[in-house]
Amino acid sequence: MFMHSKKLQYPSKPNKPDALMARRMQEILGGQWGEMSVMNMYLFQGWNTRGNEKYKDLLLDTATEEIGHVEMIATMIAHLLDVAPLSVQEKAVADDPAAAVMGGMNPQHAIVSGLGAAPRDANGNAWTSNYIVASGNLLADMRMNVTAESQGRLQVARLYEMTDDKGVRDMLGFLLARDTQHQLQWMQAIKELEEKEGLVVPPVPKAYEVEEVNHTLYNFSEGEDSKKVVDGVNAPDGKPFNYEEVPKAFGEKPKLKPAPKEVYNSKPVDM
Amino acid sequence: MFMHSKKLQYPSKPNKPDALMARRMQEILGGQWGEMSVMNMYLFQGWNTRGNEKYKDLLLDTATEEIGHVEMIATMIAHLLDVAPLSVQEKAVADDPAAAVMGGMNPQHAIVSGLGAAPRDANGNAWTSNYIVASGNLLADMRMNVTAESQGRLQVARLYEMTDDKGVRDMLGFLLARDTQHQLQWMQAIKELEEKEGLVVPPVPKAYEVEEVNHTLYNFSEGEDSKKVVDGVNAPDGKPFNYEEVPKAFGEKPKLKPAPKEVYNSKPVDM
Amino acid sequence: MFMHSKKLQYPSKPNKPDALMARRMQEILGGQWGEMSVMNMYLFQGWNTRGNEKYKDLLLDTATEEIGHVEMIATMIAHLLDVAPLSVQEKAVADDPAAAVMGGMNPQHAIVSGLGAAPRDANGNAWTSNYIVASGNLLADMRMNVTAESQGRLQVARLYEMTDDKGVRDMLGFLLARDTQHQLQWMQAIKELEEKEGLVVPPVPKAYEVEEVNHTLYNFSEGEDSKKVVDGVNAPDGKPFNYEEVPKAFGEKPKLKPAPKEVYNSKPVDM
Amino acid sequence: MFMHSKKLQYPSKPNKPDALMARRMQEILGGQWGEMSVMNMYLFQGWNTRGNEKYKDLLLDTATEEIGHVEMIATMIAHLLDVAPLSVQEKAVADDPAAAVMGGMNPQHAIVSGLGAAPRDANGNAWTSNYIVASGNLLADMRMNVTAESQGRLQVARLYEMTDDKGVRDMLGFLLARDTQHQLQWMQAIKELEEKEGLVVPPVPKAYEVEEVNHTLYNFSEGEDSKKVVDGVNAPDGKPFNYEEVPKAFGEKPKLKPAPKEVYNSKPVDM
Amino acid sequence: MFMHSKKLQYPSKPNKPDALMARRMQEILGGQWGEMSVMNMYLFQGWNTRGNEKYKDLLLDTATEEIGHVEMIATMIAHLLDVAPLSVQEKAVADDPAAAVMGGMNPQHAIVSGLGAAPRDANGNAWTSNYIVASGNLLADMRMNVTAESQGRLQVARLYEMTDDKGVRDMLGFLLARDTQHQLQWMQAIKELEEKEGLVVPPVPKAYEVEEVNHTLYNFSEGEDSKKVVDGVNAPDGKPFNYEEVPKAFGEKPKLKPAPKEVYNSKPVDM
Amino acid sequence: MFMHSKKLQYPSKPNKPDALMARRMQEILGGQWGEMSVMNMYLFQGWNTRGNEKYKDLLLDTATEEIGHVEMIATMIAHLLDVAPLSVQEKAVADDPAAAVMGGMNPQHAIVSGLGAAPRDANGNAWTSNYIVASGNLLADMRMNVTAESQGRLQVARLYEMTDDKGVRDMLGFLLARDTQHQLQWMQAIKELEEKEGLVVPPVPKAYEVEEVNHTLYNFSEGEDSKKVVDGVNAPDGKPFNYEEVPKAFGEKPKLKPAPKEVYNSKPVDM
Query: Over the stretch A150-203, which tens digit does the pLDDT of each residue have?
Result: 999 999 999 999 999 999 999 999 999 999 999 999 999 999 999 999 999 999
Amino acid (1-letter code) at residue B117: A
* Maximum distance among all Cα pairs of chain F, rounded to whole angstroms: 75
- Give the C-alpha separation, A50 to C257, whole Å: 6
Q: What is the pLDDT of residue C223?
A: 87
Residue C136: name the closest of F267, D241, B134 by CA. Answer: F267
- Give the C-alpha separation, F173 to D253, whole Å: 40
Distance from CA of A105 to the nearest CA of F (A): 7
Other C-beta atoms lying within 10 Å of the C-beta of residue E240:
10
Q: Same domain, yes or no, for E137 and E226?
A: no
Q: Same domain, yes or no, for F177 and F230?
A: no
Apex B257 CA angle, B253 and B261, nearest 5: 150
Question: Is 50 exceeded by the pLDDT of residue E271?
Answer: no
Residue, of A29 and A94, whose pLDDT is higher: A29
CA B128 to chain CA centroid, Å, is 12
State whether residue F162 sits within 8 Å of chain C by CB.
yes
Q: What is the pLDDT of residue B125?
A: 98
pLDDT > 90: what percent of chain C?
Answer: 88
Check A181 against B223: CB less than 8 A apart: no
Q: Same domain, yes or no, for F52 and F67?
A: yes
Task: Tell me whether residue D1 is in a domain.
Answer: no
Task: Flag the least confident range among B57-66, D69-78, F253-262.
Answer: F253-262
Q: Which of E9, E75, E188 sits opposite F230 (nearest CB)?
A: E188
Which tens digits make up the pLDDT trace of D191-237?
Answer: 999 999 999 999 999 999 999 999 999 999 988 899 999 999 999 99
Between B and C, how many residue pairs show a Cβ–Cβ distance under 8 A? 12
Enumerate the residues of chain B whose CB falls inside 8 A of the CB of residue C161. 262
Enumerate the residues of chain E whose CB falls inside 8 A of the CB of residue D22. none
Residue E9: name the closest of E59, E72, E61 by CA. Answer: E72
**Residue span of the structural domain in which A228 resides:** 206-244
Task: Tell me whether residue B142 is in a domain.
Answer: yes
Q: What is the pLDDT of residue D95?
A: 45
State whether residue D20 sits within 8 Å of chain E by CB.
yes
Question: Is 60 exceeded by the pLDDT of residue A101?
Answer: no
Question: Is 80 exceeded by the pLDDT of residue C233?
Answer: yes
Omega of the bond prior to E14 within 30 degrees of 0, cis? no
Q: What is the pLDDT of residue D270?
A: 58
- DSSP code string of B163-196: ---HHHHHHHHHHHHHHHHHHHHHHHHHHHHHHH
- DSSP type of residue C98: T
Task: Tell me whether residue B1 is in a domain.
Answer: no
Question: Is 50 exceeded by the pLDDT of residue C95?
Answer: no
Residues E93-111 have a mean pLDDT of 68
Check F262 against D161: CB less than 8 A apart: yes
Task: Tell me whether residue E162 is in a domain.
Answer: yes
Which tens digits make up the pLDDT trace of D23-58?
Answer: 999 999 999 999 999 999 999 999 999 989 999 999
pLDDT band at C92 (very low <50, low <70, confident <90, very high): very low
Strand locations in B80-143 (E): none
Q: Is B114 left (phi over 0), alpha (psi -120 to 50) or beta?
A: left
Q: What is the pLDDT of residue B94?
A: 45
Q: Same domain, yes or no, for E117 and E218?
A: no
Q: What is the pLDDT of residue B104?
A: 80
Contacts of F238-244 with C-beta under 8 Å, sequence gap 24+, read F239/F215, F240/F215, F241/E184, F241/E185, F241/E188, F241/F215, F241/F216, F241/F217, F242/F215, F242/F216, F242/F217, F243/F216, F243/F217, F243/F219, F244/F216, F244/F217, F244/F218, F244/F219
pLDDT band at B85 (very low <50, low <70, confident <90, very high): low
Residues A141-147 have a mean pLDDT of 98
Question: Is 90 exceeded by the pLDDT of residue B230?
Answer: yes
Q: Which of F44, F61, F68 sits opposite B119 (nearest CB)?
A: F44
Check C184 against D228: CB less than 8 A apart: no
Q: Exposed/middle/buried for A262, CB within 10 Å: 0-12, 13-18, 19+?
A: middle
Distance from CA of A220 to the nearest CA of E (A): 15
CATH code at position F243: 3.30.1530.10
Check A116 against D68: CB less than 8 A apart: no
Q: What is the pLDDT of residue E92?
A: 44
> Helices C138-161 & C166-197, crossing angle to 10 degrees?
160
Question: Is 80 exceeded by the pLDDT of residue C83?
Answer: no
Contact status, residue C73 vs residue C28, Cβ threshold 8 Å = yes
pLDDT > 70: what percent of chain F?
Answer: 92
- DSSP code string of A165-178: -HHHHHHHHHHHHH
Task: Tell me whether residue C141 is in a domain.
Answer: yes
Q: Which of B5, B44, B57 sits opposite F3 (nearest CB)?
A: B5
Q: What is the pLDDT of residue E86?
A: 61
* Maximum distance among all Cα pairs of chain E, rounded to whole angstroms: 75
Task: Tell me whether residue E57 is in a domain.
Answer: yes
> Quick one: closest CA in F to E263, which residue?
F114
Q: What is the pLDDT of residue A222?
A: 87
State whether residue E205 sits within 8 Å of chain B by CB.
no
Tell me which residues of chain E, numbers 99 to 128, contact chain C at a CB-CB cutoff of 8 Å. 112-120, 126-128
Contact status, residue D248 vs residue D236, Cβ threshold 8 Å = no
Enumerate the residues of chain A whose CB falls inside 8 A of the CB of residue D1. 4-5, 7-9, 68, 71
pLDDT band at A127 (very low <50, low <70, confident <90, very high): very high
Q: How far, CA to CA in Å, does B220 sit from each of A67, B251, D3, D46, D69?
A: 11, 16, 5, 21, 18
State whether residue F164 sits within 8 Å of chain D by CB.
no
Question: Is 60 exceeded by the pLDDT of residue A215?
Answer: yes
DSSP H or E stretch at residue C142: helix C138-161
> Quick one: closest CA in B to D138, which residue?
B266
- Cβ-based neighbours of F92, under 8 Å, separated by 6 or more: none
Residue A36: name the closest of D140, D40, B249 by CA. Answer: D40
Omega of the bond prior to C202 within 30 degrees of 0, cis? yes
- Give the C-alpha separation, C69 to C34, whole Å: 10
| D contact chains, 3+ CB pairs < 8 A | A, B, C, E, F
Question: Is 60 exceeded by the pLDDT of residue E167?
Answer: yes
Which tens digits make up the pLDDT trace of D145-154?
Answer: 999 999 999 9
* Maximum distance among all Cα pairs of chain B, rounded to whole angstroms: 75
Contact status, residue A215 vs residue B181, Cβ threshold 8 Å = yes
Distance from CA of F232 to the nearest CA of C (A): 24
Q: Which of C161, C262, C264 sits opposite B262 (nearest CB)?
A: C161
Contacts of C39-42 with C-beta under 8 Å, sequence gap 24+, read C39/C63, C39/C66, C39/C67, C39/C69, C39/C70, C40/C129, C40/C132, C40/E36, C40/E119, C41/C131, C41/C132, C41/C133, C41/C134, C41/C144, C41/C145, C41/C148, C42/C66, C42/C145
Check B88 against E163: CB less than 8 A apart: yes
pLDDT band at D261 (very low <50, low <70, confident <90, very high): very high
State whether residue B74 sits within 8 Å of chain F by CB.
yes
Which tens digits make up the pLDDT trace of D116-164?
Answer: 999 999 999 999 999 999 999 999 999 999 999 999 999 999 999 999 9
Question: Is 50 exceeded by the pLDDT of residue F269?
Answer: yes
Contact status, residue C104 vs residue A85, Cβ threshold 8 Å = no
Q: What is the pTM of this model?
A: 0.96
Distance from CA of A197 to the nearest CA of B (A): 13
Q: Which of F5, F71, F112 sits opposite B47 (nearest CB)?
A: F71
Q: Same domain, yes or no, for D190 and D212?
A: no
State whether residue B53 sits within 8 Å of chain E by CB.
yes
Would you give the end-to-end CA distance of chain D in angstroms? Answer: 64
Which tens digits make up the pLDDT trace of D16-31?
Answer: 999 999 999 999 999 9
pLDDT band at F61 (very low <50, low <70, confident <90, very high): very high
Q: Which of A154, A157, A262 sits opposite E161 (nearest CB)?
A: A262
Which of E169, E245, E266 should be substituted to probe chain B, the one whose Cβ sees the most B Cβ atoms within 10 Å?
A: E266
Check D136 against B270: CB less than 8 A apart: no
Enumerate the residues of chain C whose CB falls inside 8 A of the CB of residue F155. 111-112
State whether residue F166 sits within 8 Å of chain D by CB.
no
Which of F160, F164, F264, F266 should be substituted to probe chain D, the one whose Cβ sees the most D Cβ atoms within 10 Å?
A: F264
Residues A52-65 have a mean pLDDT of 97
Question: Is 60 exceeded by the pLDDT of residue F96?
Answer: no
Q: Same domain, yes or no, for E136 and E95?
A: yes
pLDDT band at F93 (very low <50, low <70, confident <90, very high): very low
What is the pLDDT of chain B when averaged over all its residues?
93
Enumerate the residues of chain A whose CB falls inside 8 A of the CB of residue E267. none
- Give the C-alpha separation, D270 to D201, whole Å: 45
- Give the C-alpha separation, B252 to B230, whole Å: 29
State whether residue B217 sits within 8 Å of chain D by CB.
no
Distance from CA of F212 to the nearest CA of B (A): 26
Question: Is 90 exceeded by the pLDDT of residue B99?
Answer: no
Q: Same domain, yes or no, for D104 and D228?
A: no
Q: Same domain, yes or no, for F88 and F210?
A: no
Q: Which of E83, E130, E250 sits opposite F130 (nearest CB)?
A: E130
What is the pLDDT of chain F when averaged over all its residues?
93
Contact status, residue A59 vs residue A45, Cβ threshold 8 Å = yes
CATH code at position E142: 1.20.1260.10
Tell me which residues of chain F, numbers 25 to 44, contact chain B at a CB-CB cutoff of 8 Å. 30, 36, 40, 43-44
Q: Same domain, yes or no, for C123 and C210?
A: no
Distance from CA of A222 to the nearest CA of D (A): 37
How crowded is the C-beta side of E222, counted as CA atoms within 13 Å? 8
Which tens digits make up the pLDDT trace of A1-24?
Answer: 999 999 999 999 999 999 999 999
Omega of the bond prior to A258 within 30 degrees of 0, cis? no
Which of B26, B73, B123 should be substituted to probe chain D, the one whose Cβ sees the most D Cβ atoms within 10 Å?
A: B123
Task: Tell me whether residue C263 is in a domain.
Answer: no
State whether residue C260 sits within 8 Å of chain A by CB.
no
- Give the C-alpha separation, A164 to C11, whole Å: 48
Enumerate the residues of chain F whose CB falls inside 8 A of the CB of residue D161. 262
Distance from CA of E204 to the nearest CA of B (A): 27
Total number of domains constituting chain E: 2
Check D247 against C32: CB less than 8 A apart: no
Which tens digits make up the pLDDT trace of B135-181?
Answer: 999 999 999 999 999 999 999 999 999 999 999 999 999 999 999 99
- Give the C-alpha separation, E212 to E219, whole Å: 16
State whether residue A154 sits within 8 Å of chain E by CB.
yes
Residues in chain C: 271
> Quick one: closest CA in E to D245, which residue?
E3
Q: Same domain, yes or no, for A174 and A56?
A: yes
State whether residue A229 sits within 8 Å of chain E by CB.
no
Task: Tell me whether residue A105 is in a domain.
Answer: yes
Q: What is the 3-state secondary structure (H, E, C) of A27-62?
A: HHHHCCCCHHHHHHHHHHHHHHCCCCHHHHHHHHHH
Residues in chain E: 271
Q: Same domain, yes or no, for A188 and A235?
A: no
Residue F181: name the closest of E209, B117, D62, C93 by CA. Answer: E209
State whether residue E64 sits within 8 Å of chain C by CB.
yes
Strand locations in E117-196 (E): none
Would you give the end-to-end CA distance of chain E in angstroms? Answer: 64
pLDDT band at F270 (very low <50, low <70, confident <90, very high): low
What is the four-CA torsion angle of C265, C269, D4, D10, rounded to 10 degrees? 70
Q: What is the pLDDT of residue F92?
A: 44
Which of E88, E171, E175, E214 should be substituted to probe chain F, the one whose Cβ sees the most F Cβ atoms within 10 Å?
A: E214
Residues B265-271 have a mean pLDDT of 77
Distance from CA of C80 to the nearest CA of A (A): 16
State whether residue D56 sits within 8 Å of chain C by CB.
yes
Enumerate the residues of chain E whose CB falls inside 8 A of the CB of residue B105. 104
Question: Is 90 exceeded by the pLDDT of residue B93?
Answer: no
Q: What is the pLDDT of residue E201?
A: 97
Q: Same domain, yes or no, for C48 and C178?
A: yes
Q: What is the pLDDT of residue D268?
A: 84
